[in-house]
Amino acid sequence: MKKFILVLLILPFTFFSQQKLTLEDIWAKGIFSAKYAQGFNVMNDGVNYVDIESYGSQTNLSQFDLKTGKKIKELVKGEDVKFNNKPLNLYTYQFSPNEDKLLLYENRENVYRRSPKANYYVYDIATKKTIQLSDKGQQMFPLFSPDGKKIAFVRENNLYIKYLETGTEIIVTRDGEANKIKNGWADWVYEEEFSRADYFDWSMNSQYLAYVKFDETKVKEYTMDYYKAELYPTQYTFKYPKAGEENSIVSVHIFDEESKRTVTADIGTEKDIYIPRIQFTNNPLVLSITRLNRLQNKLELLFTDVIGGKGVVAYTDESKTYVDVTDDLRFIGDKGFIISSERDEYNHLYYYDLNGKLINQITKGQFDVTEFSGYDEETKTLYYVSTENGATNRDVYSVKLNGKDKKRLSTKSGFTSFEFTPGYKYYISTYSDANTPPVYELNSIDGKTVKVLEDNAALKSKMKNYNLSTKQFFKFKTSEGVELNGWMLKPQNFDSTKKYPVYMYAYGGPGANEVNNNWDGTDYFWHNYLNQEGYMVVCVDNRGTQGRGRQFKHSTYLQLGKLETIDQIETAKYLGSLPFVDKTRIGFQGWSFGGYMASLLISKGGDVFKTAVAVAPVTNWKYYDNIYTERFLRKPIDNKSGYEDNSPTNFVKDIKGKFLLIHGSADDNVHLQNSMELANAMVSKNIPFDFMIYPNKSHGISGGLTRLHIYSKIFKFVKENL
């Protein structure tokens, strides 16, 4: 009897001792942020590594033996790294190719998502002297030449070269001008949709510098207002080509650093094209240029002679829908190249000779290769990440160049990736799953752990103080027989005899998954906060998402929003059939493409969804940029129904539930115009809605206490209306 009473006393105490999540802790204090393996780099010899050591306010860069972890020497003392007696942040370092210098920066600021500008400095390890990369303005994309003697960079739309031995700076281009000509720096739409901002590359012998010129003269402009407590708002104008509108005219040039002569590459007579990548082959006299047509369904590799600029088409990939641009192209000595393609209905790796003749398909099967991690020339072994263990997982595999001897190297279900060291004797592994923060380890090539770089033990320990729900994965089939993947987080102390409201969350865009067995960062705690407040959280990947082959991903072609909306409505109906779900209290929240989905679901799914929260939504694809939009819908003139049949602005009359619309006024990506047009449509039909605009905030709507504010706003709306 006494033991039984003791248990009764202990259980309530244990329960009440658990801390409660707060929005302040999640979004303002950042107490649940995971750590990364910062400052760690393996050296060129493949047997040593460097790491930053901190001693109070002092930081040093030290060298260690990879195998034993034993410290060899202090390579750089933080107190020595300064310019004009002003200390520089050692954590910003990047090695020169021959590891005798460090590149560091200060006063970094982003122009757009991938184009930071800063003041850069070069520190000589032997002499302990620091020089400024340039004193004529902030620089962008500093790139060492392979011999480590020069750095190419962009300043104010022109390309420059700094000679480190003499301190001389020369100009490569002279016609750069804001909103007209950009040299080596992508225009806005390339940077956003081809995921690259720097467009120049050194040849292996450090003699030739190839770059792309973007002539934006005919591209239409978009203007945003910034509110800075001044009498008049400040206007910012930039080039933004919307669907169907004119693009930058691009050209490719090769600068000979010795003769100071520039050659223009022959990329064909058609001007309305894209050049999403340039890359030198292992032959310094041959530049590889990726050419993509406007419809983005024909991708070609041109091998170009740097002396005369003439090129030949060595490889072509065509599709009835679209061809993705990736960074999977690798040149194998002077023998050939490896590239990925969906040509057999799944994304796989292929080996071609330099004349474009297929030697062999390297990977095969009903799974997608999502990352080409590396190639070991000595053992002729490729390493890649794939969805062979299901679209919710990512596993690392090795395979020989001839496609034989495939091995799964991941040891646990979840998301695993490897970053290989020079010589492929070691690798840094990153692992997490849906309920486990990331772990970073240094391993030898046989899989043995040499050093744990970061295991996030402090965060894991902190999580034990909270009554957190764990993600549970599930599958279900729609009425059309389509199987969809999902996860759910049930409220703490879940009672299957009760009925719970459901907060659905998704992104849903082409090739972008949210149902992943990996760490979801701060969103994990935000969703657990909703669990704590009595809401069940569910996420399902609709058709169009990645990892299940070309047919599943490309099924939404020419009709964005149609199948995605059907699948999310089917998800809500499926959830409503579960005994522990209150089918009258199902809501949906999404951001960007997810905001587009939320705006459609509250109207087209008006009989199913009680509430919706749309953050920074596209409301008609004609307002969005042309590279992304035309990839999936073609031009508006060629596919009017594809644009109008699933535009939220055309369905506001069907809205029955409560709707919260949120946007940043300085969103350079999904313009505020989208939400203004949707608001105007709802007002014209006398549809009530809530509207929140965040002044001067971009697409991410962050900075200071902004995230706390936006999620407090969302939660208050959800609490009152769901």
The answer, yes or no, to whether residue 416 has pLDDT greater than 90, is yes
Of the listed ranges 39-53, 244-258, 390-404, the least confidently predicted one is 39-53
The answer, yes or no, to whether residue 32 has pLDDT greater than 80, is yes
79 and 58 in contact (C-beta within 8 Å)? yes
The answer, yes or no, to whether residue 1 has pLDDT greater than 80, is no
152 and 135 in contact (C-beta within 8 Å)? no
| Angstrom distances, CA of residue 658 to CA of 596, 602, 684 | 16, 8, 17
| Angstrom distances, CA of residue 641 to CA of 83, 245, 548, 607, 676 | 60, 18, 27, 24, 22
Q: Tell me: the pLDDT tens digits for 664-680? A: 999 999 999 999 999 99
Mean pLDDT (whole number) for 115-143: 97
Mean pLDDT (whole number) for 28-48: 90
Nearest to 384 by CA among 450, 440, 318, 327: 327
Nearest to 197 by CA among 209, 205, 206, 188: 188
Q: Tell me: the pLDDT tens digits for 290-309? A: 999 999 999 999 999 999 99
Mean pLDDT (whole number) for 205-221: 98
580 and 498 in contact (C-beta within 8 Å)? yes
Packing angle, helices 593-604 and 562-576, rounded to 10:
60
Q: Which residue has the tokens 């809605």?
A: 689
140 and 116 in contact (C-beta within 8 Å)? yes
The answer, yes or no, to whether residue 254 has pLDDT greater than 70, is yes
Tell me phi and psi for residue 593, to 5 degrees: -60, -35
207 and 127 in contact (C-beta within 8 Å)? no
The answer, yes or no, to whether residue 213 has pLDDT greater than 90, is yes
Q: Tell me: the pLDDT tens digits for 325-360? A: 999 999 999 999 999 999 999 999 999 999 999 999
Residue 166 is predicted with a pLDDT of: 95
The answer, yes or no, to whether residue 8 has pLDDT greater than 50, is no
The answer, yes or no, to whether residue 505 has pLDDT greater than 70, is yes
Residue 54 is predicted with a pLDDT of: 87
301 and 314 in contact (C-beta within 8 Å)? yes
Count of beta carbons in the 10 Å neighbourhood of residue 671: 24
| Angstrom distances, CA of residue 342 to CA of 324, 358, 364 | 9, 15, 11
Domains and CATH numbers, the chain: 35-141 (no CATH), 470-721 (3.40.50.1820)
Residues 603-630: b if buried by 16+ CB within 10 A, e if exposed: bbbbebbbbbbbbbbbbbbbbbbbbbbb
The answer, yes or no, to whether residue 5 has pLDDT greater than 70, is no
Amino acid identity of 668? D
Radius of gyration (Cα) for the chain, nearest Å?
27
Mean pLDDT (whole number) for 437-462: 94
Q: Strand pairing partners for 117?
A: 109
Q: Tell me: the pLDDT tens digits for 570-589? A: 999 999 999 999 999 999 99
Mean pLDDT (whole number) for 18-23: 94
Residue 17 is predicted with a pLDDT of: 64
652 and 687 in contact (C-beta within 8 Å)? yes
Mean pLDDT (whole number) for 388-400: 97
140 and 117 in contact (C-beta within 8 Å)? yes
* Cα gap 387→308, rounded to integer Å: 44
Residue 649 is predicted with a pLDDT of: 97
* Cα gap 359→351, rounded to integer Å: 6
Query: Three-state SS for 560?
Result: coil
Q: Tell me: the pLDDT tens digits for 180-197? A: 999 999 999 999 999 999
* Cα gap 529→28, rounded to integer Å: 14
Q: Which residues contact 267 (CB under 8 A, 6 or more apart)?
A: 250, 251, 252, 273, 275, 289, 291, 302, 311
Confidence of residue 163 (pLDDT cuts 50, 70, 90): very high
Residue 69 is predicted with a pLDDT of: 85
Mean pLDDT (whole number) for 397-401: 98
* Cα gap 649→564, rounded to integer Å: 17
Per the prediction, the chain carries an average pLDDT of: 95
Percent of the chain with pLDDT over 90: 94
Amino acid identity of 114? R
Q: Which residues contact 215 (CB under 8 A, 6 or more apart)?
A: 180, 181, 248, 249, 250, 251
Two structure tokens written together for 706? 């902004």
Nearest to 211 by CA among 171, 247, 180, 246: 171
* Cα gap 459→468, rounded to integer Å: 13
Amino acid identity of 682? M
Two structure tokens written together for 517? 């067995």
